């Protein structure tokens, strides 16, 4: 088997997830085997460049790709004196002065994202950000105009096809003039990468007509997995084996309560179905469960037992399920453990995208006969009482090692909480490490720590990433096309479909008529 090296380079590379996926690809045609080699990547964020080296083993280049005018419109001020515009020479230097076989462009997508209002998207700031799409393509063409890149992959959010239509038309025209056949399509990263999230993206593919005659075939459809198939291979949140990225985010107390009432697989609209009276929740209130006479809770509509001399919650049925709880409204979505999640986005902390999961694993469904039933297990000490001797094995589940703390958090105070939801699971946010696994940045059993010590920054870089598994699927078919060209073949007998009919025409006859 002869090994053929296929090089790739990345504009707006982020933390290197797309590059990592390309490195994993292993296309084969006849006696040729493709081995992908990363020449580097460019990004404006120092933390992303440091992560790029971690994920790919290759140095990236810190570089601002804005023109001076774009910089000024985006930042609202002129750049510093030492700032300079990137040139085609700078691009070649960043790629080790080699011509890559494949260039992957993943420009910032905030300006075309559906999470941004049309009004805000039309402002000079976000128009300048959108223009980076055209700027990157121009720099790439100019950098290698004497030795064109074989294949180009340009990906972004689907809405770019409408909000950035004028830019895409200019990009297609530039590429056509440079000798490329161009086609646009969309794909779901989750379906071609076998992910546990649905992540729809816009895709533009260009082939240099003279250098690459063969078809580009469609990646194998793998379908979506459930989030549980990924998370079940990971330790529970907070387990030290997961590291600092595997901690549950601190949320406002009222957010925890809202999440508990969102049905698994549903979103904030579940809350609209709760019965309210005079601004209060009619049917539910957070109270302890009834367990064999201890911490007993009386139904609101039934009579209670005898009032004893020691009528406390811990020694009898001396609590009531008071329906007069506070009302609330929110916008949160909870993913069912057996289903795929929404798209992991850079802001998966506020209710959009892959936000929360109904986790059935914490053992919150209590059964008679379990070890915690019986003398002292899960014992709770009153705030004004003293506890027994602190033993070497003192833990919450093997004695009276918990306290009834009266200092309840305010509704807006951030805290960690575990509330058993109506379906018997823990409705909680995904941890940052879980989002990385859902993005296929790591295998669920792997450990990861990105640059810095900030969950919000980590989540933004993870949410902006191209899933490596999806990038690998794209690289496999592109590598196959390149190997066909190198072997002199123009057609591959395969069960795989040609990737989208308009693209098939573009890649076979040299352009869309």
Give the model's pLDDT for residue 358: 83
Does pTM surpass 0.85? no
Looking at residue 84, its pLDDT comes to: 96
Give the largest Cα separation in the chain, rounded.
94
Q: Are the beta carbons of 257 and 356 closer than 8 angstroms? A: no
Would you say 13 and 155 are in contact if contact means Cβ atoms under 8 Å apart?
no
377-391 residue pLDDT tens: 667 788 888 877 776
What pLDDT does 352 receive?
59
- Mean local confidence (pLDDT), 493-511: 43
When pLDDT is averaged across residues 294-312 and rounded to a whole number, the result is 52
Question: What are 418-437's pLDDT values in tens digits?
Answer: 888 877 888 888 888 988 99
| DSSP character at residue 39 | E
Model confidence at 490, in pLDDT bands (50, 70, 90)?
low
Give the residue with greater pLDDT, 322 vs 232.
Answer: 232
Measured CA to CA, the distance from residue 472 to residue 479 in angstroms comes to 10
- Are 454 and 247 spatial neighbours (Cβ–Cβ below 8 Å)? no
Phi, psi angle pair for 7, to nearest 5°: -95, 150
pLDDT at 439 over 60: yes
Phi and psi for 48 in degrees, rounded to 5? -65, -40
Q: Where are the beta strands (DSSP E) in 63-179?
A: 102-105, 151-156
pLDDT at 238 over 70: yes
Q: Are 458 and 450 in contact (CB under 8 A)?
A: yes
Residues whose CB falls within 8 Å of the CB of residue 42, separated by 6 or more in sequence, listed in order: 10, 11, 12, 13, 60, 61, 63, 65, 86, 91, 94
Q: Which is nearest to 180 in space by CA: 211, 203, 154?
A: 211
Torsion of CA 158, 61, 345, 255, to 10 degrees: -160
108 pLDDT more than 50:
yes
Domains of the chain with bracketed CATH: 2-226+465-509 (3.40.50.150)
Quote the percentage of the chain above a pLDDT of 90: 45
> How many whole angstroms separate alpha carbon 193 and alpha carbon 223?
8
- Spatial strand order of the sheet with 426-429 comes to 334-336, 356-359, 426-429
Tokens linked to 299: 């139904």
Torsion of CA 55, 58, 63, 64, to 10 degrees: -30
Tens of pLDDT, residues 328-373: 334 567 888 888 888 887 765 555 566 788 888 776 655 555 544 4
The whole-angstrom separation of Cα 507 and Cα 241 is 48
Who's near 104: CB < 8 A, 6+ residues apart?
A: 8, 9, 10, 11, 18, 19, 22, 153, 155, 466, 471
Indicate the length of the chain as a whole number: 513
Q: What would the pLDDT profile of 113-162 be if each residue is shown by its tens digit?
A: 877 888 988 999 999 999 999 999 999 999 999 999 999 999 999 999 99
Q: For residues 66 and 285, which has the higher predicted lDDT (pLDDT)? A: 66
Nearest Cα residue to 33 out of 486, 493, 507: 486
Query: Which whole-number Å values give the CA distances from 310 to 244, 295, 306, 356, in the listed order?
Result: 45, 13, 11, 41
DSSP 247: S
8 A C-beta contact, residue 439 and residue 465: yes
Please give the backbone phi and psi of residue 329, each rounded to the nearest 5 degrees, phi first: -150, 150
DSSP state letters, 251-317:
EEHHHHHHHHHSPTT--GGGGGGS-EETTEESS----PPPBTTBT-EE-TTS------TT--GGGSS
- Long-range CB contacts (< 8 A, 24+ apart) of 450-457? 450/15, 450/47, 450/51, 450/54, 450/245, 451/47, 451/48, 451/50, 451/51, 451/54, 452/47, 453/244, 455/245, 455/247, 455/249, 455/349, 456/349, 457/47
Return d(Cα 161, Cα 203) in angstroms, integer. 10
How confident is the model at residue 42, as a pLDDT?
98
Phi-psi sector, 115: left (phi>0), alpha (psi -120 to 50), beta: alpha
Q: How confident is the model over 450-476, as pLDDT tens digits?
A: 999 888 899 889 989 999 999 999 999
pLDDT exceeds 70 at position 309:
no
Q: How many CB atoms are located within 10 Å of the residue 341 CB?
A: 30
């Amino acid at each position: 088997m002869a090994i053929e090296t296929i090089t790739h380079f990345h504009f707006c590379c982020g933390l290197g997830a797309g590059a990592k996926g390309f490195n994993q690809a292993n296309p084969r045609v006849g006696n040729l085997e493709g081995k992908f080699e990363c020449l580097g990547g460019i990004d404006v964020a120092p933390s992303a460049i440091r992560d790029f080296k971690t994920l790919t083993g290759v140095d990236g280049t810190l570089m601002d790709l804005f023109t001076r005018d774009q910089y000024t419109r985006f930042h609202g001020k002129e750049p510093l004196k030492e700032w300079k515009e990137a040139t085609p020479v700078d691009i070649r230097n960043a790629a080790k002065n080699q011509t890559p076989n494949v260039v992957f462009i993943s420009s910032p997508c905030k300006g075309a994202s559906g999470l941004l209002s049309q009004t805000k998207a039309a402002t000079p700031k976000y128009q300048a950000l959108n223009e980076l799409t055209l700027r990157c393509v121009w720099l790439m063409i100019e950098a290698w105009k004497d030795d064109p890149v074989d294949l180009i992959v340009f990906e972004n959010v689907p809405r770019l096809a409408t909000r950035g239509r004028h830019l895409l038309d200019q990009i297609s025209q530039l590429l056509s003039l440079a000798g490329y056949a161009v086609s646009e399509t969309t794909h779901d990263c989750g379906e071609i990468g076998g992910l546990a999230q649905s992540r729809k993206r816009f895709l533009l593919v260009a082939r240099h007509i003279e250098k690459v005659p063969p078809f580009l075939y469609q990646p194998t459809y793998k379908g979506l997995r459930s989030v549980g198939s990924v998370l079940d291979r990971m330790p529970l949140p907070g387990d030290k084996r997961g590291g600092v990225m595997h901690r549950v985010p601190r949320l406002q107390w009222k957010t925890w309560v809202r999440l508990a009432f969102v049905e698994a697989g549903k979103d904030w609209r579940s809350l609209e179905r709760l019965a309210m009276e005079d601004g209060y929740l009619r049917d539910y209130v957070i109270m302890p469960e009834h367990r064999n006479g201890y911490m007993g809770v009386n139904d609101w509509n039934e009579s209670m037992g005898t009032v004893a001399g020691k009528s406390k919650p811990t020694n009898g049925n001396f609590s009531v399920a008071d329906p007069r709880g506070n009302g609330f409204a929110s916008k949160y979505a909870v993913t069912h453990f057996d289903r795929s999640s929404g798209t992991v986005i850079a802001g998966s902390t506020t209710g959009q995208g892959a936000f929360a999961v109904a986790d059935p694993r914490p053992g919150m469904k209590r059964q008679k006969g379990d070890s915690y039933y019986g003398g002292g297990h899960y014992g709770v000490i009153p705030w004004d009482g003293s506890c027994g001797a602190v033993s070497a094995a003192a833990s919450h589940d093997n004695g009276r090692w918990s306290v009834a703390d009266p200092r309840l958090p305010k509704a807006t105070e951030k805290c960690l909480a575990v509330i058993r939801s109506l379906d018997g699971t823990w409705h909680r946010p995904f941890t940052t490490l879980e989002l990385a696994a859902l993005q296929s940045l790591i295998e669920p059993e792997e450990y990861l720590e990105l640059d810095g010590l900030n969950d919000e920054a980590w989540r933004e870089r993870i949410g902006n990433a191209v899933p490596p598994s999806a990038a690998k699927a794209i690289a496999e078919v592109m590598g196959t096309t390149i190997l066909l060209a190198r072997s002199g073949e123009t057609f591959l007998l395969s069960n795989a479909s040609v990737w989208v009919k308009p693209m098939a025409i573009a890649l076979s006859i040299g352009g869309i008529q």
